[in-house]
Amino acid sequence: MSSAPDQELTELRTVIREFLEAKSAEDDVRRLMETDEGHDPAVWDQLARELGLVGIAIPEQYGGAGAGFVEQAVVLEEMGRALFCGPYLASAVLAARALLESGDADACRDYLPGIADGSLVATVAIADRSGRWDEVGAGCTATPAATGWTVSGTKHYVLDALVAGLVLVFTASPEGPALFAVDRAAVDVRPIPTMDPTRKLAEVVFRDAPARPVGAVGAAGPVLEKVLQYAAAALAAEQAGASRRVLDMAVEYAGTRVQFGRPIGSFQAVKHLCAEMFLQVQCAAETAARAALAAADAPDELPVAASVAKSVCSRAYVDVAAKNIQVHGGIGFTWEHPAHLHFRRSRSSAILFGDPHAHHERLHRLTGLADQLREPVG
């Protein structure tokens, strides 16, 4: 769907920022990241029911707002800026997109309205222990049973599984790659300690768990491909918003911290750091915006645009988060300072859904460069 006019996007951004400044301030982030769930149900309910942000990109026929990915990208940017703790990426992006891409109208009717109004939190299980995100059947197998299907195996790095009521799992099956819906009560969930406590990951163990096919069994390969493209574009938007916030922190501190009788922002070395950060943030914003536009209106361009954005935004966020600590000096290295929280989020986000190197390899394949490099010269 085409994006809204710039004025509407600006108004949307203002509403989201004001809400998150009130509900996802640093104290809120630190409180939630110390819990196993990392999630405030009351805030989630407000996001979904009062603001309509959880279902913003879900079609109206399934209870959503029917907006496009550009609008959802604005939400993600602001959540990245605020280090929002909650299952938005897992439920509103990954799970909703998996259902829509499956082409299963019955599953969409059964699950999407609950996702849109926030009453159902869903997540998607993809990776195995190795961290591969592009293998549909990695770690799990579906088997036909007398009363339907069951799934057995283990998935790793599953976002917000502790608070999910529904797990959509990509598995192997006798017919080929498949997507199944499994009730959260039918699986074991084990929290995974991570570098970034603001984003909760878990290991999900399936032991002959009753499962419902979503879409045609054996046809989930293209579904996973599309889900990962949207995941990369979504995470890039979040990283771009967070990078902008980190730059603002550095510039503000450089203008107020005084050493030797003048603001440190007047020192050449600090000026250079801030200038480099600005260029990286601008590049991240541009590539993330291009991926969002492709997701909304140019699906043929999305595979390349999403991988470019994920690679550029991952590197930018990691680098500006590190430079922000340099600008702040000793205080930036302390656990009590938010610069440390952004540094941890930047590192974890860089490897989620594939690190920059993996996306470079993907771009080589998509553009045909890999084949050209293998051709003999002369």
Q: What is the mean pLDDT of the chain?
A: 91
Q: How would residue 364 be classed by pLDDT, with cut points 50, 70 and 90?
A: confident
Using one digit for the tens of pLDDT, what is the confidence trace for 295-319?
999 999 999 999 999 999 999 999 9
Domain identity same for 252 and 317: yes
Domain identity same for 232 and 348: yes
Domain identity same for 14 and 82: yes
Domain identity same for 232 and 364: yes
Domain identity same for 257 and 317: yes
Q: What is the CATH number of the domain that holds 91?
A: 1.10.540.10
Q: Please, how many CA atoms are within 13 Å of residue 65, restricted to the half-sphere of its CB?
A: 19
Task: Specify if 66 maps to a domain.
Answer: yes
Which DSSP helix (H) or strand (E) runs through 106?
helix 105-117
pLDDT of residue 2: 46
| Cα–Cα dist 266/146, whole Å | 74
Domain identity same for 54 and 110: yes
Task: Specify if 322 maps to a domain.
Answer: yes
Q: Of 209, 191, 211, 210, which Cα lies nearest the Cα of 199?
A: 191
Domain identity same for 229 and 360: yes
Task: Specify if 27 maps to a domain.
Answer: yes
Among 120, 142, 169, identify where a domain stops: 120
354: DSSP letter:
S
Q: Of 170, 166, 161, 169, which Cα lies nearest the Cα of 191?
A: 161
List, in sequence order, every residue forming a beta bridge with 153; answer none if it has no partner.
Answer: 140, 206
pLDDT of residue 338: 86
Interior angle at CA 39, CA 339 and CA 156, nearest 5: 85
Check whether 259 has a pLDDT greater than 80: no
Q: For residue 375, is it left (φ>0), alpha (ψ between -120 and 50) or beta?
A: beta
Q: What is the CATH number of the domain that holds 168?
A: 2.40.110.10
Check whether 370 has a pLDDT greater than 70: no
Using one digit for the tens of pLDDT, what is the confidence trace for 88-118?
999 999 999 999 999 999 999 999 999 999 9
Domain identity same for 232 and 369: yes
pTM above threshold 0.75: yes
Q: How would residue 125 be classed by pLDDT, with cut points 50, 70 and 90?
A: very high
Domain identity same for 279 and 205: no
Per the model's pLDDT, the better-predicted residue between 272 and 158 turns out to be: 158
Enclosing domain of residue 107: 6-120
Among 170, 193, 218, identify where a domain stops: 218
Task: Specify if 1 maps to a domain.
Answer: no
pLDDT of residue 359: 85
Domain identity same for 232 and 370: yes
Complete DSSP assignment for 192-242:
E--S-TTS-EEEEEEEEEEEEE-SSTT--HHHHHHHHHHHHHHHHHHHHHH
Q: What is the mean pLDDT of residues 178-192?
A: 96
Domain identity same for 149 and 197: yes
Domain identity same for 362 and 280: yes
Q: Percent of the chain, pLDDT > 70?
A: 93
Tally of domains within the chain: 3
Check whether 47 has a pLDDT greater than 70: yes
Q: Of 123, 128, 132, 173, which Cα lies nearest the Cα of 151?
A: 173
Strands 258-259 and 262-263: antiparallel
pLDDT of residue 269: 75
Q: What tokens appear for 226 in the block?
A: 């599309």
